[in-house]
Amino acid sequence: MLFTSYKFIGFVILLVALYYVLPKKAKWPLLLLGSYVFYYFAGWKFLFYIAAVTVITYVAGLLISRNKVRADARFAELKALEKSGSASPEEVGKEARKRYKEAQKKKRRLIMTIGIVLALGILAVVKYTNFTIHNINGILSVFGSTKRLGFLEIALPMGISFYTFQAVSYVIDVYRDRHEAQKNFFKYALFVSFFPQLVQGPISRYGDLSKELFTPHKFSGRVLERGLQRVIWGYFKKVVIADRILTAVNALIAAPATYKGVYVFLVMMFYALELYADFTGGIDITIGIAEMLGIPVKENFERPFFSKNIAEYWRRWHITMGTWFTDYIFYPISVSGPMLKLSKWSRKHLGEKVGKRLPVYLASFIVWFTTGIWHGASWNFIVWGLGNFVVIMISQELEPLYRKFHKKVNTDGSTAYKTFQVGRTVLLMSALRLFDCYRDVPLTFKMFGTMFTTWNWKTLGSGTLMHLGLVRSDYVILGLGTILLIVVSMIGRSGSVRDKMEKKMPLVARWGIFTLLVLIILVFGAYGQGYDAAQFIYNQF
């Protein structure tokens, strides 16, 4: 069920209605049932994967939690025994207790590791086996071997990258004692499978989502209105903008031999708009649906295109993925024992400056490599991820230079300078995304190069734009739609747009605006016959 299918819309209406009609006790089970029905529509075979990941991480969490409770009790017991003097200090003294505690922690860590390895193992097999085989075959051919390994025939289960990450974060958080394990298996299954975020995130943490997920919410017109507003806005982005410009992007990418030079720049800009509208629109729909049910979900974007540098961009784009990588990969690696040792060693031998950075850079490298391969099992994504790494490192290294520059030239609060920074970030990110467009590393480099070698910007005026599957009126809509996006984003800088509307406008005015928006979606949306090709871009990850 695509978000833009009639089936999905009908499904959501039915589910929300049922949610408020059913008695309290049945509310969260309804969500679980709904989530599995939703997942079933993606393919019944995929149910096994999500069920397996759920069972594995549920058991791991439970075992860790149990061990912790038991260990704490035993620890207190040992302390009491020492006090009463009924046991020898060697057995219950401070040292003995510490040993006991560490041993138990080790046990928990083992359980966590097994759980994570199993859960990620499933992801690895379905997502990366063929990529690995492909590369092995490549190596074989380099060495002149005619042997080739056969590919596995597995379809990538919908949303597996998202729910696996969510489930893994749960196990780690239980281990880190952020929260207790969920004892009710079905409640836990709901956390893993909560349908609106199954397709493309956000990647929620159990500690955040569980607060309201199982709470039975009473019907409230206000809650419903606000959720619905968000959903409608999401559909506007997705259906009116993303799905329309998609046609042109695909046309440009499909014929790289024809569309060189300035058209590569066009791909950069168009794809930036498409991805933004598609991904944030999808997340708006996701969060809006959850809001209609009274369940807050973590934001995944914070006007990313207004970022002043790439590091900031990554704190504002796909936020839940970024924090996931920071919390569960970057920190664990960079503060791990070996890494600290390496840091010490390199400081001694390579100097303070290099030594300090080495661990951070190494951890960053691993994070960006992983981020790349998480987006897709192919080299273009890996190069894309590492491209981000390189740019961030360079800007980090240039920091002292910037500081010098700013000392000489006062740019504080200068709109022109901010605009320059924002423009620079947008261009850099769009250029990196070319790897995602052309899906072929050498080709991407080549196409990027043509921007500087092929001066064909004059042909833009000669009607080529009309050959990309869009007509003049499409461009008008895209232009107006983009202006609306920017305006709403600007208003949103000083706080939630919906809050402002609620404060300043009577119900009738709000209603009018959203009716108009619905009409715009219905009339100007790129949907229906002839527009079937569009799938959410993030679906496949």
Q: Which positions lie near another protein, rule CB under 8 A?
A: 6, 175-178, 221, 311, 315, 326-328, 330-332, 334-337, 340, 343-344, 356, 359-360, 363, 396, 471, 473, 507-508, 511, 515, 518-519, 522-525, 527-530, 532
How far is Cα 480 from Cα 470, in angstroms, rounded to an integer? 15
CB of 301 to another protein, least distance (A): 16
Q: Which is nearer to another protein, 2 or 443 (CB)?
A: 2
Q: Which is nearer to another protein, 80 or 476 (CB)?
A: 476
- The 3-state DSSP class for residue 377 equals coil
CB of 473 to another protein, least distance (A): 4
Q: Which is nearer to another protein, 52 or 509 (CB)?
A: 509
CB of 331 to another protein, least distance (A): 4
How far is Cα 198 from Cα 192, in angstroms, rounded to an integer? 8
Q: Within a 10 A sphere around the Cβ of 84, how many other Cβ atoms?
A: 9
Q: Which is nearer to another protein, 439 or 510 (CB)?
A: 510
Q: Which is nearer to another protein, 54 or 425 (CB)?
A: 425
Q: Which residues, at least 6 apart from 455, have a Cβ–Cβ distance to it below 8 Å? A: 261, 262
| Long-range contacts, 418-422 (Cβ 8 Å, 24+) | 418/308, 421/308, 421/309, 422/305, 422/306, 422/307, 422/308
Which has the closest alpha carbon to 207: 196, 191, 194? 191
CB of 304 to another protein, least distance (A): 15
CB of 511 to another protein, least distance (A): 5
Q: Which is nearer to another protein, 125 or 386 (CB)?
A: 386
Q: Which is nearer to another protein, 3 or 328 (CB)?
A: 328
CA-CA distances (angstroms) from residue 284 to 229, 436, 490? 9, 23, 17
Residue 355: how many CA atoms within 13 Å on its side-chain side?
13
CB of 130 to another protein, least distance (A): 32
Which helix (H) or strand (E) is 84 found in, with range?
helix 46-84
User: From the centroid of its chain, how far is CA 450?
Assistant: 32
Residues 347/408, Cβ–Cβ less than 8 Å: no
Q: Which is nearer to another protein, 77 or 352 (CB)?
A: 352
Radius of gyration of the chain (CA): 26
CB of 52 to another protein, least distance (A): 26
CB of 60 to another protein, least distance (A): 16
CB of 260 to another protein, least distance (A): 30
CB of 318 to another protein, least distance (A): 16
* 367-393 as b/e: b if 16+ CB within 10 A: bbbebbbbbbbbbbbbbbbbbbbebbb
Here the tokens at position 480 are 């107006």
CB of 503 to another protein, least distance (A): 18
How far is Cα 317 from Cα 185, in angstroms, rounded to an integer? 33
Q: Which is nearer to another protein, 105 or 217 (CB)?
A: 105
Q: Which is nearer to another protein, 102 or 499 (CB)?
A: 102
At 38, phi and psi to the nearest 5? -55, -45
Q: Which residues, at least 6 apart from 358, have a Cβ–Cβ distance to it below 8 Å? A: 342, 343, 346, 350
Residues 387/441, Cβ–Cβ less than 8 Å: no
Q: Which is nearer to another protein, 395 or 456 (CB)?
A: 395
At 118, phi and psi to the nearest 5? -65, -45
At 452, phi and psi to the nearest 5? -105, -10
CB of 324 to another protein, least distance (A): 13
Q: Which is nearer to another protein, 170 or 263 (CB)?
A: 170
How far is Cα 48 from Cα 361, in angstroms, rounded to an integer? 38
